[in-house]
Amino acid sequence: MGDGSPPIVCDGEDVAVVFDPDVPADEKSPGCFHVYEANGAGAVVPMTITATMTRDIWASTSSRPTERLITPVIRRTMFVVDVRELQAVID
């Protein structure tokens, strides 16, 4: 994630979270996420993010019902995000 932490692996239902207004906030899942450590109030740190998606393509036929892996499909993109620290006090 650009800060030296290990890569995040998102799997299954954690990849996409659909907003549901009927689910209370404390019961909502954040999905796949990363928390950056503090850089100081008002700090702006550009982070280079590399997102990689891997999908395995499987196939079977009526004459060969056992599925077999044909090929993995890998897509990768890089982008820069300015990570900013905000602070607030809630009473």
Residue ranges covered by each domain of the chain: 12-84
β-pairing verdict for 68-84 and 44-59: antiparallel
The pLDDT value given to residue 38: 62
| pLDDT band per the 50, 70, 90 thresholds, residue 12 | low
Distance CA 9, CA 45 (A): 23
The pLDDT value given to residue 39: 64
The pLDDT value given to residue 17: 59
Do 79 and 85 contact (CB within 8 A), yes or no? no
* CB crowding 40-58: b at 16 or more within 10 Å, else e: eeeeeeeeeeeeeeeeeee
Q: Which pLDDT tens digit goes with each residue over 59-80?
A: 888 887 778 888 888 889 998 8
pLDDT at 28 over 70: no
The pLDDT value given to residue 10: 72
